[in-house]
Structure 1
Amino acid sequence: MWLQKLSVLNFKNYSEAELSFSDTVNAFTGNNGAGKTNLLDAIHYLSLCKSYFNPIDSQQIRQGEDLFMIQGTFHKDDNDEVIYCGLKRSQKKKFKRNKKEYQRLADHIGLFPLVMISPNDISLIIEGSEERRKFIDNAISQTDGHYLDELIIYNRNLTNRNALLRQIAISGKYDPTLMEIYDDQLVESGNRIFEKRKAFMQEFTGIFNNHYSYLCEDAEQVELVYDSPLLHDDFETILKKNLERDRILERTSSGIHKDELNFSIHGMVLKKFGSQGQQKSFLIALKLAQYTFLHKNKGFEPLLLLDDIFDKLDDARTTKLMKMVSDKDFGQIFITDTSRNRIEEIFRKIDVPVNIFDIEKGNILS
């Protein structure tokens, strides 16, 4: 699978642009703020129906305009498929595949899988556990068409139980039968998600370890550990044990919505003791492991988007990374960098052709 063409209209800082790509390595070069990353985000929209950076669709419309449009032509299974995304202010986003509009965006997720590596990924290390759960959910949802539905059901059940806890606090009336019904619903959906996350992590952890070992040449010892309340007790028992606490807090204090990924280096917390280079290497290994997982489970190569990837990486790790992603196990790649010369030199060293686009203030110069 690869992206042949991309067209954007009034998207972020672009009034209009149309590009044709190589099926191997494509690079966008230019100064900071030129619009390189915006092109990666447009590609992200075509695969995952949303921006990688900003959840508010209307804020992607170019200033002073009333709509934005993104369209791409993918070559997949010997066929060309046209994907369209458009939004007018104050209207619902439209998403189409071969001119047929989706009724549910979830039905598109996973058809054109994608992995993006960006400086924003540092949130996986420094922010709360929600960011790390999103990482797991993103990987699973691109290979399991029912997983997003399971998350929707669980979150709805969680909202209902929390509303009941608040109602009990306000009224002082506790109905054990109703609480049991809500608990059963939460347990049923929660257990399904837990089993899928656990199975994913059992496969994913080994892949991650291999990628990190390659990047650092076994010089550093890192660990990636999945932790969930359901690893220590069954969900039904957890809810019963925490009921009084939940009534005081007026929310469900334990469940798969509290799952965590723990990152460590040399036995110490990565967030506190890892250098910027070590943290970046860890994040790159995480995302490359996600890529390998998707490739294995989809049966074809996803797109790989590398935004400002060379910052805080030494030359040795940069060269190893580019050698890795230019290998036969990887498909089409998109890279951004401020230096055209650096891109040319890196790929000259590893003897890999690269298609370079110079970007200036939302314009494609070459």
Structure 2
Amino acid sequence: MATRPPGTRGDVLRVRDLTKRFGDRVAVDSVSFHVAPGETYGLLGPNGAGKTTAIRMVCGLARPDAGEVVIAGERVSRSAVRAKALVGYVPQEVALYPDLSARENLNFFGRLYRLGGKPLRRRVDEVLELTGLADRAGERVESFSGGMRRRLNIGAALLHQPTLLVLDEPTVGVDPQSRHAIMDSVRAFGAAGMAILYTTHYMEEAERLCDRVGIIDHGKLIAEGTRRELVSRLGERDRVALTVDGDATAFAAECGRLPGVAAVDTTTEAGHSQVSLVVSQGRSALPALLEAAERSGATVRSAEVIEPDLEAVFLHLTGTALRE
């Protein structure tokens, strides 16, 4: 998804110069971003970076010291009922009643959203299916695993079919299987057209889920863009590792003459040669590399494109690895 300037008409969420102080500490410092329909926007940063404070202001749960939040044309404040009704908020801490069943929890939260009767029963059934908990609907939440509780927590935020879904670190403390299930669900919500604001300190989640990422540290949004835009801004290139049979030296020479190839190296191990290249666009270069192999009489047995990741971007921008 192409990056557009903040405030573009049609954005579901617009955040402008959002600022929050706690005494002398600036927790969120003039942060601005926007989220379009069907877009998953990730706020990536370490614990204590300001992510949770920012989204609490987005949801109207905390009053900003400066700046504004607009959701689908409605300005957010602590008393803005219509704006808040557009949001489904999934907090870090699971907000469920452990002594109630999954269905009873959803019925309770549905009534808070002013749902009732057949529409509520239908929507509860739909959410139980969406979260994969239909077969456990009658069981108490206290018997659920951490991952199941997280999924039900997300389900509660979906009952009123929000315009904007806000998830604050939704996979913290869950098992790998539940984590994958949650990420699959988030992808499906975005594909269905829902705007999603997703905070995480896990690089792989930001890379797998988010159309655009805002990197936040010490309360400041220090970079923003698609994964490729963030990486290319730093001048990073892809690495391509090719395992070949035949004349690897001639193949490497052919590769070195191709446009976009910055460096070529050849090694031999276990009877096979490996040609490693540094290129500007690894995946786009593969057809030309295969043609070069054919011209040089080499046979490519395997090819791996290793793209720079957000970890490298974060390290470059902050001078440190992502803090837990």
Change (3 A) 1:360 1:135: same
CA distance in 2 between counterparts of 1:306 and 1:114 reads: 10
Among 197, 204, 220, the alignment partner of 2:123 is 204
Among 333, 351, 355, the alignment partner of 2:212 is 355
For residues 126-168 of structure 1, the C-alpha deviation after alignment (integer angstroms, 9 at most, x for no partner) is 378998787234422xxxxxxxxxxxxxxxxxxxxxxxxxxxx
CA distance in 2 between counterparts of 1:343 and 1:116 reads: 19
Residues 166 and 198, structure 2, Cα contact 8 Å, conserved in 1: yes
Among 172, 197, 206, the alignment partner of 1:334 is 197
Normalization by structure 2: what TM-score?
0.53
Which residue does 1:310 correspond to in 2? 171
Change (3 A) 1:83 1:323: closer
Alpha-carbon shift at residue 210 of structure 1 (Å): 1.8
> Is 1:20 aligned to residue 30 of structure 2?
no
Alpha-carbon shift at residue 11 of structure 1 (Å): 4.7
Residues 37 and 307, structure 1, Cα contact 8 Å, conserved in 2: yes
**Counterpart AA for 1:334:** L
Secondary structure at the residue paired with 2:96?
Answer: helix
Alpha-carbon shift at residue 321 of structure 1 (Å): 1.7
Normalization by structure 1: what TM-score?
0.48
Secondary structure at the residue paired with 1:125?
Answer: coil
**Counterpart AA for 1:69:** A
**Counterpart AA for 2:168:** D
Residues 11 and 70, structure 1, Cα contact 8 Å, conserved in 2: no
CA distance in 2 between counterparts of 1:341 and 1:212 reads: 22
Task: Tell me the C-alpha RMSD between the 2 structures.
Answer: 3.3
Task: Specify which structure has the bigger relative contact order, considering alpha-carbon pairs within 8 angstroms and separated by 6 or more residues.
Answer: 1
Q: Which runs of 5+ in 1 are unaligned?
A: 46-50, 52-56, 62-67, 86-94, 96-104, 141-195, 224-262, 296-301, 348-352
Which residue does 2:156 correspond to in 1? 286
Residues 42 and 70, structure 1, Cα contact 8 Å, conserved in 2: no
> Is 1:31 aligned to residue 46 of structure 2?
yes
> Is 1:270 aligned to residue 141 of structure 2?
yes
After superposition, where does 1:94-109 map in structure 2 within 5 Å? 105=79, 108-109=81-82
Change (3 A) 1:313 1:330: farther
More strand by share: 2
CA distance in 2 between counterparts of 1:111 and 1:280 reads: 22
Identity of aligned residues (%): 13
Which residue does 2:69 correspond to in 1? 72
**Counterpart AA for 2:135:** Q
Which residue does 2:259 correspond to in 1? none
Secondary structure at the residue paired with 2:128?
Answer: helix
Alpha-carbon shift at residue 222 of structure 1 (Å): 1.3
Change (3 A) 1:138 1:40: farther
Alpha-carbon shift at residue 109 of structure 1 (Å): 2.6
For residues 42-67 of structure 1, the C-alpha deviation after alignment (integer angstroms, 9 at most, x for no partner) is 1101xxxxx1xxxxx6xx67xxxxxx
Alpha-carbon shift at residue 110 of structure 1 (Å): 5.5
- Structure 1 ranges of 4+ moved more than 4 A: 127-134
After superposition, where does 1:1-366 map in structure 2 within 5 Å? 2-11=12-21, 13-14=26-27, 16-23=29-36, 24-45=39-60, 51=61, 68-74=65-71, 76=72, 81=73, 83=75, 85=77, 105=79, 108-109=81-82, 113-120=86-93, 122-126=94-98, 135-140=109-114, 197-213=116-132, 221-223=135-137, 264=139, 269-271=140-142, 273-288=143-158, 290=159, 293-294=160-161, 302-311=163-172, 312-315=174-177, 316-327=180-191, 329-344=192-207, 346-347=208-209, 354-366=211-223
Give the length in aligned residue pairs: 203
CA distance in 2 between counterparts of 1:72 and 1:363 reads: 17
Secondary structure at the residue paired with 1:221?
Answer: helix
Residues 114 and 304, structure 1, Cα contact 8 Å, conserved in 2: yes
Change (3 A) 1:200 1:334: same
CA distance in 1 between counterparts of 2:129 and 2:205 reads: 27
CA distance in 2 between counterparts of 1:16 and 1:323 reads: 30
